[in-house]
Amino acid sequence: MVDFNSNDFMDRLREALRSVNLEDERRRPRRGEPRPNVDEFKITELPEFNGSADPEVYLEWERKIDRMFDFKYLDDEKRCKYAILKLSKSASLWYEGLKSRRIRDRKEKISSWESLKRMLRKRYVPSNHRLNLYKKISDLVQGKMSVAEYIDEFENLCLMGELEENEEQRMSRFLRGLNKNIAFAVELCNYTDFNTLSTLCLKIENQNKSRYNAGSSSGWSKGGVSGSANAAPSTKPNVTQPKQGEPTPKQSSTAPKETSLSKRGGV
């Protein structure tokens, strides 16, 4: 029978617990190391890049595939292998040509996702792409867009341009392109961040719409219905009277035959 209060039992229990803790420590990844994950991707789960000439198509593919790699904690080499498998059509032909040139020039094989990304950007993203994005952002105005559409376009351009700016600079650029009637109203409100600012703009736009709809409906009830009733056309026939001194128009030659016969009998 085991004596749970004996020193020998307690020593063995401490040793067993120490072994379990050491095993857990060995399995735990160190800081900066990728976490092991047996359940990796199926190839069909990853998006393809077919070599589109639009730089934003490539950058969107890069962002999406990077998020999926981060979710699975894949190391840099595995990311590279997966990305190569998802190059299709002209992008696949470009990679095969790149690989052949590197073999011919006796350069090492591409095994890093970061290196492959630099080469893909060099091929599919023009050098002036960021400059063009900055110009689009600086020239962006709301115009005929709704506030919601303007916010979406503003945030998409900021994301694509990867702008590094503080909250005040971002809000200043946003207000500069906003329609003046909404921008003036927002200046009377308190806001400290971009989310609060965009919410205020949406509320002001909805209030303006409500006032406009209320004014339109009241104008129709006053001037629309009553005005149409007052302007109803008269049913009295419009007979043109001959002017003074003008001869009376002759009767039509299609008079009844009985009248002419009676006149002859009288003669």
Q: What is the dihedral of CA 8, 14, 15, 21, to 10 degrees?
A: 170
Kindly report, residue by residue over 95-128, the tens digit of the pLDDT: 999 999 999 999 999 999 999 999 999 999 998 8
Using alpha carbons only, how large is the chain's radius of gyration in Å? 42
Kindly report, residue by residue over 1-30, the tens digit of the pLDDT: 555 566 676 667 677 666 655 555 555 555
